[in-house]
Amino acid sequence: MIVFQFVAGSLKGRELRVDRLPVSIGRDSDVDIRVGDDGVFGRHLRIFLDSDARLQLDSQPPAFALIDGAKVQSTCVRVGDCIGVGAAFFRLALDSPKQASLVVRESLLWLGILTLILIQLWAMFELG
């Protein structure tokens, strides 16, 4: 899951998580991430996976984005990049994976081991 960590603008301090690509960002009501700051166009930019599974950013002219201070319209982006869209800035991050609880599985395993030990002890005393 990709996390958009907003560091400046009206969404500053918010983290938005997306679980699918492409992601569209802009001012319009039908975009995935709505940003209403000054300088943001209706469908300002799109982040998607290219054919080589790299994250790509593509903005529609005359819109542009700032990637770590450089003005771009289309480029490859990486986790950790700081991206500016108008007056809003966000950092790309990855959400930490959630590990499933192993309580039930481990409990059943220990119950099985205890059962084997008890069977062995019973066999030793009955047959021994």
Per-residue pLDDT tens digits for 60-103: 888 999 998 899 999 999 999 999 999 999 999 988 777 778 88
| Number of helices (H), then strands (E), in the chain | 1, 11
pTM: 0.72
Look up tokens 């030793």; give the residue: 124
Give the right CATH number for 2-94 from 2.60.200.20, 3.30.300.20, 1.20.1560.10, 3.10.450.50: 2.60.200.20
Q: What is the dihedral of CA 63, 20, 8, 98, to 10 degrees?
A: -160
Q: Which two tokens stand for residue 3?
A: 């996390």
Summarize pLDDT for 32-48 with one digit per residue, the tens: 999 999 999 999 999 99
For 57, residues 6+ apart whose C-beta sits below 8 A from its C-beta are 45, 46, 47, 65, 67, 72, 74, 75, 76, 77, 83
